[in-house]
Structures are given as structure tokens and as C-alpha cells.
Structure 1
Amino acid sequence: MTRLFTALEIPAAVKTHLSLLKGGLPGARWIDPENYHLTLRFIGDIDGRMADEVADALDRVYRPPFGLTLSGLDCFSSGRAPHSLIARVEPTPALVDLQAEHERILQRIGLPAEGRRYVPHVTIARLRGTTSADVALWLAAHGDFRVPRFDVDRFVLYSSRASVGGGPYLIEEAYPLAA
């Protein structure tokens, strides 16, 4: 079984900005900068035949390059407990359309629909035992985070090992966006 997902890579300069946010939050397990990405569609654990079918189907995506901006920080919670610290991504029409196309393609080849609403973000830390008050203080100190717009000229198919999250991730295929 292979665990796959599609994503956009984060440029080195943006990774540097994100990595400077590390620290000062109890219970945070910070993601290594080489593992920062913007997930388009989590696929999950699939067999080799389906993995080949996914890779082939994604090769038919034809979209022009576009720009993205990371603006602001937030956290995801389960119930009352915060579990992930994220950088928000401004949802442009081009990003939303690309993500929706991935969803359609993967459903067409027989994968189940993603049950969660798509919220574009880059995970920067996983949280365990971190209180909502600690997160609120950290966000208040860092919440004005913004990086300059960057260009997106390809998406990738990543594989990962089954783990709690945060990598390491391996690029299985890269798909250029065409002008």
C-alpha cells in the first residue's frame, strides 16, 4: 500500500519565513521546512495498480500557472483541543479550480469523495497537550504573518509513510502547469 496526496510545493524563500515562526508554543511539534506543502487532495493508502491509475489520470490536468499568497495564521481543533497550527492560504479561483479538478478526477477513477471541506493551508506544527489559551497567545504575537505572492507552476503527487504526520514526503510525480 502506498499513501498518496496531491499538493503544491512551497518555495524556499517562503519556507524560510515559515520556519522563523518556530518556537514559543508548548506542546508544538514543528514541521521541518522541507516538508511544508499545500495539500490539494489527500488520497490515502492505495495499492500499486490504483497508484498508477492516479498518476496517469493527473497527467491530464491542463491549467495555467498562477500566484498564491500566505496570509495569517490559525489553528485547527477537534472539539475543544487544538491539533494543528497553520498558515492560511488566500483561496484564489485558480487554486480552488485546480483542487476541484483533482477531486473530480479522483472520484472518476473510483476513489471516494473527500468528506471534509477544502481549506487551503500550510501546516507548520502539530499540537499535543497545547491549550487553547497558549495558542491564542501565540497567534496574537504572530497573527500578522504574510509573505509576498509566489508563483505556482506545477503540482506534485507525494507519497508518505503511515505516521502521525509531518513527513518525510517523497515526490512520486511532478505535473507542470502550462501557460
Structure 2
Amino acid sequence: MPRLFAGLEIPKDITTLLSLQKGGLYGARWVDESNYHITLRFMGDVDYGLANEIVFQMSQIQYPEFDLSLRGFGSFGSKKPHSVFAAVQNSQELYLLHQEIERRMRKLGLRSDKHDYTPHVTLARLKKTAEPIDVANYLAMRGNFQSGNFRVPRFVLFSSRDSVGGGPYVIEETFDLL
């Protein structure tokens, strides 16, 4: 049974820039730069029949290419942070692509995520030993982070294995944007 999610790849120059932000945070398990991505929609563990339906639905999406950039860092888990991320600059095009994928996945019977969509690139997962003040200091020191714009020419269906912290991720299918 594959574990699937749709996402966007990050260009090499941006992944290199992000990888330079590693370190200086006790209790962090840093994500390997080869696994950096922006999740569009997590599908979870699905059987192969549903996986084929997902591929078909995604292949029917006709959407134009667009530009993105990253701006600032943040964390998930307000009282007990559990991950650190690079935030994606607000993009109407990204949200519309996400909504189209979401609509098609609900049509297949997949439940929506219980959290609001927050596009980001996960940089580290935090152990329970990470102190909120240390996370706040790490984020404050990197508050002005900004990448240049990068073009999004396609979206991808990734698979992952069941593991702590995700990865390695495998590209199963690619879907070119117009």
C-alpha cells in the first residue's frame, strides 16, 4: 500500500540556501535537502486501485505555471513546537492549485486535512527536548530569510515509506503545468 502526497519540488539553488540554515537548535532532526518540498495534499496510505484513480484525477488538472518564493521561518506546535519550517510567500495560484487537488481528492472519498492549509518547507522535526525559547531564538535569528522567486513548472505525486520524520520521498508521477 503506497503512502502518497502531492507536492511541489524545490529548485536546487533554493534547497542549498535552506540547507545553510541547519544547526543551532538542540533537539532538531534536520530534513535532508533532497527531501525538501511543498506539500499540496496528503493522501495517506491508499490501495493500488485508489492510487490509480488519484493519478488519473491529477492528470486531468490543467493549470498554468506560476512563481513562488519563500519568506520567513516558523514553527508548528504553539506550546510545544514539533517542527520548524520555511514559509511560502502568499500565492493565489498556489492556493487555487491546492483547492483543485483537494476538490478532486474529496470526490474520490478522501477526507480533508483537519488543519488549514499552510504551505511550507519543513526544515526540522523537533524532539520533545526542544525548548520553546530555543525555537523562538532560532526563528528570531532567521526572521529576515527570503528566497528569490522560482518557477513552478509541474506538480508531483510522491510516495514515502512509513518512517520517523518522513523521507526518503520517491517521485511516482509528474504533472506538467501549462
In 2, Cα distance between the equivalents of 1:91 and 1:105? 23
Contact 1:9 1:38 in 2 (8 A): yes
Contact 2:9 2:38 in 1 (8 A): yes
- The aligned runs of 1:109-148 (5 Å cut-off) are 109-128=108-127, 129-148=129-148
In 2, Cα distance between the equivalents of 1:173 and 1:108? 20
Structure 2: give runs of 5+ residues left out of the alignment. Answer: none
Structure 1: give runs of 5+ residues left out of the alignment. Answer: none
Structure 1 residues 36-65: Cα deviation after superposition (integer angstroms, max 9, x where no partner): 000000000010110011011100010000
In the TM superposition, residue 113 of structure 1 has moved relative to its aligned partner by 1.9
Aligned length: 177
TM-score (norm 1): 0.97
Runs of 4+ in 1 over 3 A off after TM superposition: none
In 1, Cα distance between the equivalents of 2:7 and 2:63? 15
In 2, Cα distance between the equivalents of 1:141 and 1:117? 27
Q: Provide the aligned C-alpha RMSD in A.
A: 0.8
In 1, Cα distance between the equivalents of 2:166 and 2:48? 23
In 2, Cα distance between the equivalents of 1:91 and 1:4? 25
Contact 1:32 1:166 in 2 (8 A): no
Structure 1 residues 6-41: Cα deviation after superposition (integer angstroms, max 9, x where no partner): 000000000000000000100000000000000000
The residue that corresponds to 2:157 in the other structure is 157
In the TM superposition, residue 109 of structure 1 has moved relative to its aligned partner by 1.4
The letter of the residue matching 1:153 is: P
Matched, 1:93 2:92: yes
